[in-house]
Amino acid sequence: MKIAVAKEIEVGERRVALVPDVVARLVKQGVEVWVEAGAGDRAFFSDAAYEAAGAKIVSDPGYLWWEADVLLKVGVPQEREDGRSEVEMLREGAVLISFLNPLGEPAIAKRLAERRISAFSMEMIPRTTRAQSMDALSSQASIAGYKAVLIGAAALPKYFPMLTTAAGTIAPAKVFIIGAGVAGLQAIATARRLGAVVEAFDIRPAVKEEVQSLGAKFVEVQIEEETVAAGGYAKEVSETAKQRTQEAIAEHVKLSDVVITTAQVPGRKAPILVTEEMVAQMKPGSVVVDLAAEQGGNCACTEPGKDVQRNGVTIIGTIDLPSSVPIHASQLYAKNLLSLVQLMINKEDKSLQLNFEDDIIDAACITHAGEIRNSRVKEALATLVGIGNG
Ligand code: NAD
């Protein structure tokens, strides 16, 4: 079996799918690993390091993609500068494992199915105990939560910690985290380590204890409807519940120095939780870091990839945060991939074996043998086609 690691071509993507340590583990197991020349450069992993780990360095991407039994990537396949689509560069029947954003960009699943690619979407790994080591959404979200706090702290014209100095006492910064999933919990922990006073809110009441155990205060909002969907994710709530939430958090936003928003509902536009009126009420110099910027943003003023100024408040629409910590983001992602790939290697003859009776393989595989296998992806595609016809 031949596993290939592609060089990411998306602008701003600095991560690489496998790091040399993980390559060495696969090679030791008898797997052949090919790495595209320069694939690890932007994450500071040199071709020489991959070669030393036992990989073959391949300069021609066309050759690497076509020869791969399993192609590993970080981001959604792209159109290349020479006009070729990466999906077309794969051989029929090959396995592709990557973040594929199949609910946001379902058209890609259609093309992968047409090409008879067995595509595994890292977003679709179940959030179960057995799949924890493969949970790339978590490994990358945790990095985003950490980095969001550092960005907020750097933009704030104040200290984070309380300080008692000869020149007077500095009060600690107040940080409000909205959405206490994986990113939000890491943001709480990071802001606490920097000495801020932290409050947090989530629509799922079950996270209250986790928030408190990290030393933050949980902001309670009474919502009279079910807020949790299958798999522990948040549900899209009614307009009434959204309004109720906005009213309840307005006072906390107003009093905060830094607001970090991380609220997301899988496959949906991010809910607007921080309105223009709330931003207008914030103190000049305050900062909003919006981790949901790529999904439309949790703040009404957010522009993805930009810093926006409103009455002295800076609203930062962060994108690509895991990519800004490329060494550790790649290291953790590579371990996630390794754990998943292990499920596909026949222990006896080291051949590729897709066992759809395994719940992880079944859930993560979105296309196989010319079919789209995932009902949510099918629904997303039907909606897209409906919009196109309408
Ligand atoms: P996510 O990125 O989908 O969303 C981030 C947070 O935003 C979530 O906590 C969500 O509840 C919150 N949110 C959504 N709408 C909101 C609103 N209107 N107001 C306030 N907050 C809102 O979430 P995630 O970090 O990917 O985690 C999703 C779930 O998966 C959680 O239950 C988490 O505990 C669970 N999880 C389980 C495992 C495991 O068991 N292996 C691993 C990771 C995550």
Ligand 1 atom showing the smallest separation from residue 185 Cα: 25
Residue 211: its pLDDT value, please? 98
Q: How far is the CA of 292 from the centre of ligand 1 (A)?
A: 12
Q: How far is the CA of 301 from the centre of ligand 1 (A)?
A: 23
Residue 389: its pLDDT value, please? 60
Chain-centre distance for alpha carbon 1: 29
Q: What is the mean pLDDT of residues 328-336?
A: 98
The pTM is what?
Answer: 0.95
Tens-place pLDDT, residues 20-54 = 999 999 999 999 999 999 999 999 999 999 999 99
Taking CA atoms only, the protein residue closest to ligand 1 atom 10 is 234
Taking CA atoms only, the protein residue closest to ligand 1 atom 33 is 181
Q: How confident is the model at residue 239 (pLDDT cuts 50, 70, 90)?
A: confident
Cβ of 339 closer than 6 Å to ligand 1, yes or no, is no
Distances (CA, A) of 367 to 59, 77, 86, 306, 344: 29, 14, 16, 35, 16
Q: What is the residue whose two structure tokens read 């522009």? A: 303
- Which spans in 29-125 are helix H? 47-52, 61-67, 107-114
- DSSP, collapsed to helix, strand or coil, labels residue 326 as helix
- The CA-based dihedral angle spanning residues 221, 230, 320, 387, taken in that order and rounded to the nearest 10 degrees: -100
What count of other Cβ atoms lies within 10 Å of the Cβ of residue 170?
A: 15
Residue 347: its pLDDT value, please? 84
Residue 232: its pLDDT value, please? 75
Active-site residue list? 127, 132, 135, 138, 233
Cβ of 72 closer than 6 Å to ligand 1, yes or no, is no
Tens-place pLDDT, residues 85-133 = 999 999 999 999 999 999 989 999 999 999 999 999 999 999 999 999 9
Q: What is the mean pLDDT of residues 274-297?
A: 97
Q: 314 CB contacts (<8 Å, ≥6 apart)?
A: 155, 286, 287, 288, 307, 308
Cβ of 185 closer than 6 Å to ligand 1, yes or no, is no
Residue 388: pLDDT over 80: no
Cβ of 265 closer than 6 Å to ligand 1, yes or no, is yes
Point out the least confidently predicted range of 55-59, 238-242, 339-343: 238-242
Tens-place pLDDT, residues 370-381 = 999 999 999 999
Q: How far is the CA of 277 from the centre of ligand 1 (A)?
A: 26
- DSSP, collapsed to helix, strand or coil, labels residue 197 as strand
Q: How confident is the model at residue 223 (pLDDT cuts 50, 70, 90)?
A: confident
